Amino acid sequence: MSEGEKPALAASVRGLGHSFKTARALDDVTLDFPAGRMLGLIGPDGVGKSTLLSLIAGARKVQEGEVTALGADMRDAAARAGVGPRIAYMPQGLGKNLYPTLSVFENVDFFGRLFGHARAERERRIRELLAATGLDPFPDRPAGKLSGGMKQKLGLCCALIHDPDLLILDEPTTGVDPLARRQFWDLIGGIRAGRPGMGVIVATAYMEEAAGFDWLVAMDEGKVLATGTPAELQRRTGTDSLDDAFIALMPEHKRSRHRGVVIPPRPADGQETAIEAEGLTIRFGDFTAVDDVSFRIPRGEIFGFLGSNGCGKTTTMKMLTGLLPASEGTARLFGHEVDPRDIETRRRVGYMSQSFSLYSELTVRQNLDLHARLFSLPPQAIPARIEEMARRFDLLEIMDALPDALPLGVTQRLSLAVAMIHAPEMLILDEPTSGVDPIARDALWQSFADLSREDGVTIFISTHFMNEAERCDRISLMHAGKVLVSDTPAAIVEQRGCKDLEEAFVSYLEEAIGESGRAAKAAAPDLAPVIAEYDHHAAGRRRILDPLRVMSYARREALELRRDPIRASFAFIGSLVLLFVLGYGISMDVRELPFAVLDHDRTTASRDYTLDIAGSPWFTERPPLASHADLDRRMRSGELSLAIEIPPGFARDVAAGRDVGVGAWIDGAMPSRAETAQGYVQGLHAHWLQSRARELYGEAALAADFRLETRFRYNPGVESLVAMVPAVIALVLLFIPAMLSTLAIVREKDLGSIVNLYVTPVTRLEFLLGKQLPYVGLSMLNFATLTAFAVFVQGVPFTGSLAAFVVGGLLYAVAATGLGLFISSFMNSQIAAIFFTTIVTMLLAVQYSGMIDPVASMEGSAAAIGAINPASHFVTIARGAFSKALGFADLAGSFAALAAAGPALLALSVLFLRKQAR
- Footprint of other proteins on 306-325 (CB under 8 A): 321-325
Q: Among residues 330 and 620, whose Cβ is nearest to other proteins?
A: 620
CA atoms 884, 890, 892, 893: torsion sign: negative
Contact flag: residue 686 with other proteins (CB under 8 A): yes
Residue of 585, 615, 648, 797 that binds other proteins (CB under 8 A): 585
DSSP 60: B
Q: Of 644-663, which residues contact other proteins (CB under 8 A)?
A: 654, 657-663
Q: Among residues 495 and 682, whose Cβ is nearest to other proteins?
A: 682
Size of the site for other proteins (CB under 8 A): 160
What is the three-class DSSP state of 131?
A: helix
Nearest approach, Cβ of residue 409 and other proteins (Å): 18
Contact flag: residue 744 with other proteins (CB under 8 A): yes
Contact flag: residue 541 with other proteins (CB under 8 A): no
Q: Of 101-120, which residues contact other proteins (CB under 8 A)?
A: none
Contact flag: residue 832 with other proteins (CB under 8 A): yes
Q: Is 716 exposed, middle or buried (0-12, 13-18, 19+ CB in 10 A)?
A: exposed
Q: What DSSP string runs through 197-222?
A: T-EEEEE-S-HHHHTTSSEEEEEETT
Contact flag: residue 613 with other proteins (CB under 8 A): no
Q: Among residues 68 and 676, whose Cβ is nearest to other proteins?
A: 676
Contact flag: residue 138 with other proteins (CB under 8 A): no
Can you tell me the distance from the alpha carbon of 672 to that of 187, in angstroms, rounded to the nearest whole number? 73
Residue of 26, 132, 743, 897 that binds other proteins (CB under 8 A): 743
Residue of 720, 753, 785, 794 that binds other proteins (CB under 8 A): 720
Nearest approach, Cβ of residue 825 and other proteins (Å): 14
Residues 525/527/533/536 CA torsion (nearest 10 deg): -130
What type of residue sits at position 134? G
Contact flag: residue 838 with other proteins (CB under 8 A): yes
Q: Among residues 495 and 691, whose Cβ is nearest to other proteins?
A: 691
Nearest approach, Cβ of residue 762 and other proteins (Å): 22
Residue 508 near residue 484 (C-beta atoms within 8 A): yes
Residues 303/307/311/312 CA torsion (nearest 10 deg): 10
What is the three-class DSSP state of 394?
A: coil
Q: Which residues contact 482 (CB under 8 A, 6 or more apart)?
A: 291, 292, 293
Q: State the alpha helices, DSSP H only, in 762-891.
A: 764-788, 802-826, 830-842, 860-868, 870-883
Residue of 185, 215, 534, 665 that binds other proteins (CB under 8 A): 665
Nearest approach, Cβ of residue 441 and other proteins (Å): 22
Q: Among residues 514 and 860, whose Cβ is nearest to other proteins?
A: 860
The number of residues making up the chain comes to 918
Contact flag: residue 545 with other proteins (CB under 8 A): no
Contact flag: residue 747 with other proteins (CB under 8 A): yes
Contact flag: residue 565 with other proteins (CB under 8 A): no
Q: Among residues 82 and 403, whose Cβ is nearest to other proteins?
A: 403
Q: Among residues 212 and 679, whose Cβ is nearest to other proteins?
A: 679
Q: Among residues 247 and 875, whose Cβ is nearest to other proteins?
A: 875
Nearest approach, Cβ of residue 123 and other proteins (Å): 31
Residue 566 gets the label, from left (phi > 0), alpha (psi -120 to 50) or beta, of alpha
Contact flag: residue 577 with other proteins (CB under 8 A): yes
Buried-exposed string 800-817: b where 16+ CB fall within 10 A, e elsewhere: bbeebbebbbbbbbbbbb
Q: Among residues 137 and 668, whose Cβ is nearest to other proteins?
A: 668
x/- string (CB under 8 A) for other proteins, residues 788-827? ---------------------------------------x
Buried-exposed string 859-881: b where 16+ CB fall within 10 A, e elsewhere: eeebeebbeebbbbbbbbbbbbb
Nearest approach, Cβ of residue 837 and other proteins (Å): 7
Can you tell me the distance from the alpha carbon of 13 to that of 73, in angstroms, rounded to the nearest whole number? 10
Q: Among residues 513 and 846, whose Cβ is nearest to other proteins?
A: 846
Nearest approach, Cβ of residue 151 and other proteins (Å): 17
Tally Cβ neighbours within 10 Å of residue 1: 15
Q: Among residues 371 and 471, whose Cβ is nearest to other proteins?
A: 371
Judged by CB under 8 A, the stretch of 123-131, 263-271, 514-522, 716-724 that binds other proteins is 716-724
What type of residue sits at position 197? G
Residue 77 near residue 915 (C-beta atoms within 8 A): yes
Nearest approach, Cβ of residue 348 and other proteins (Å): 10
Kindly list the distances between the CA atom of residue 897 and the CA atoms of 772, 801, 876, 878, in Å, as whole numbers in the listed order.
20, 19, 11, 14
SS3 for 402-470 is CHHHCCHHHHHHHHHHHHHCCCCCEEEEECCCCCCCHHHHHHHHHHHHHHHHHHCCEEEEECCCHHHHC
Contact flag: residue 678 with other proteins (CB under 8 A): yes
DSSP 338: P
Contact flag: residue 729 with other proteins (CB under 8 A): no
Can you tell me the distance from the alpha carbon of 719 to that of 740, in angstroms, rounded to the nearest whole number? 33
Kindly list the distances between the CA atom of residue 291 and the CA atoms of 287, 311, 570, in Å, as whole numbers in the listed order.
10, 10, 38
- Residues 506, 508, 510: CA angle, nearest 5 degrees: 65
72-73, strands of its sheet edge to edge? 23-34, 9-20, 64-69, 72-73
Residue of 120, 384, 629, 703 that binds other proteins (CB under 8 A): 703
Residue of 225, 405, 519, 578 that binds other proteins (CB under 8 A): 578
Nearest approach, Cβ of residue 749 and other proteins (Å): 12
Q: Among residues 28 and 653, whose Cβ is nearest to other proteins?
A: 653
Can you tell me the distance from the alpha carbon of 516 to that of 727, in angstroms, rounded to the nearest whole number? 61
Judged by CB under 8 A, the stretch of 223-231, 473-481, 704-712, 907-915 that binds other proteins is 704-712
Q: What DSSP string runs through 233-277?
A: HHHHHT-SSHHHHHHHHS-HHHHTT------PPPPS----EEEEE
Query: First vs last Cα of the chain: how many Å apart?
Result: 27
Q: Among residues 397 and 859, whose Cβ is nearest to other proteins?
A: 859
Contact flag: residue 405 with other proteins (CB under 8 A): no
Q: Among residues 200 and 320, whose Cβ is nearest to other proteins?
A: 320
Q: Of 344-403, which residues contact other proteins (CB under 8 A)?
A: 344, 346-347, 349, 351, 353, 355-362, 366, 370-371, 373-376, 402
Judged by CB under 8 A, the stretch of 252-260, 276-284, 686-694, 768-776 that binds other proteins is 686-694
Contact flag: residue 592 with other proteins (CB under 8 A): yes
Q: Of 839-868, which residues contact other proteins (CB under 8 A)?
A: 839, 842-843, 846-848, 850, 852-854, 856-862
Element (H, E) at 65: strand 64-69
Instruction: Determine the longest span between alpha carbons in the chain, in angstroms.
Output: 126
Contact flag: residue 829 with other proteins (CB under 8 A): yes
Nearest approach, Cβ of residue 876 and other proteins (Å): 6
Judged by CB under 8 A, the stretch of 18-26, 141-149, 241-249, 667-675 that binds other proteins is 667-675
Residue 307 near residue 478 (C-beta atoms within 8 A): yes
- Residues 442, 389, 50: CA angle, nearest 5 degrees: 55
Q: Among residues 202 and 582, whose Cβ is nearest to other proteins?
A: 582
Contact flag: residue 711 with other proteins (CB under 8 A): yes
Q: Of 869-898, which residues contact other proteins (CB under 8 A)?
A: 876, 879-880, 883-884, 886, 890-891, 893
Residue of 270, 668, 795, 903 that binds other proteins (CB under 8 A): 668
Q: Of 49-88, which residues contact other proteins (CB under 8 A)?
A: none
